[in-house]
Amino acid sequence: MRLVLVGPPGAGKGTQAQFIAEHLSVPKISTGDIFRANVSQGTPLGLQAKAYMDRGDLVPDGVTIEMVRDRLAQADATSGFLLDGFPRTTPQAQVLDDMLADAGVKLDVVLELVVENDEVIRRLSGRRTCRTCNHIWHVDFDPPADEGVCDLDGGALYQRDDDQAETIANRLEVYAKETAPLVNYYAERGLLIGLDATGPVDDVTQRAIDALRPLQHDF
């Protein structure tokens, strides 16, 4: 299955991507994770992306598209994938359509995680991420057993630089202007499923799995 997750910052895309990708046995491809890995390794791509990410702006389309093109060309993505955080602009969506058409395949579904802004602000303010495995926790809604330590592998948890209040506000504005139009883009193509992403993480995962089940007989 070829699946895209779309939704505002903090909607729970990364959290759900972990579970849905595992359920579907497809690789999870998160552009945010790839950029953050490059930033922490100090690569040229990371140095280029960092200033945009720190402000909560989008990294330019050209850079992002080439990065995704390389990732989708890897062997594990040839028979399916879950994209988290891409596409995020109409040009990115158009290029993705072209890339898939060139490969003789197409997107199967776009899941939109629907959550109000006040809830995403609560979610982002308490988010903690594992430095080793990237698992996502929340200090109140999904806390690890030991504060600051990942239950899964004992890795140290950190707070993302772009989860400061002013940066969150800018990310929400950028989402409304640049990314929200993709909801119509995919609805017009008959690919969009809107998913209520409020309530406990497990409930949202179950809703997502239920929404995808009718499509799964094709795979």
Residues recognised as catalytic: 13, 88, 127, 160, 171
State the residue number with the nearest CB to ligand AP5: 32
The helix or strand, by DSSP H or E, that contains position 145, with its residue range, turns out to be none
The helix or strand, by DSSP H or E, that contains position 2, with its residue range, turns out to be strand 2-6
CA distance 14 to 195: 15
Counting residues that bind ligand AP5 (by CB under 6 A) gives 36
CB environment 195-207: b (16+ within 10 A), e (fewer): bebeeebeebbeb
Among 2, 3, 6, 64, binds ligand AP5 (CB under 6 A): 64
Q: Which residue has the tokens 């698992």?
A: 135
Least separation in angstroms between CB 127 and ligand AP5: 3
Among 2, 4, 6, 10, binds ligand AP5 (CB under 6 A): 10
Both tokens assigned to 130:
């594992």
Q: Per rule CB under 6 A, is residue 19 in the interface with ligand AP5?
A: no
* Chain positions contacting ligand AP5, by CB under 6 A: 7, 9-15, 31-32, 35, 52-53, 56-59, 64, 85-86, 88, 92, 123-124, 126-127, 136-138, 141-142, 162, 171, 200-201, 204
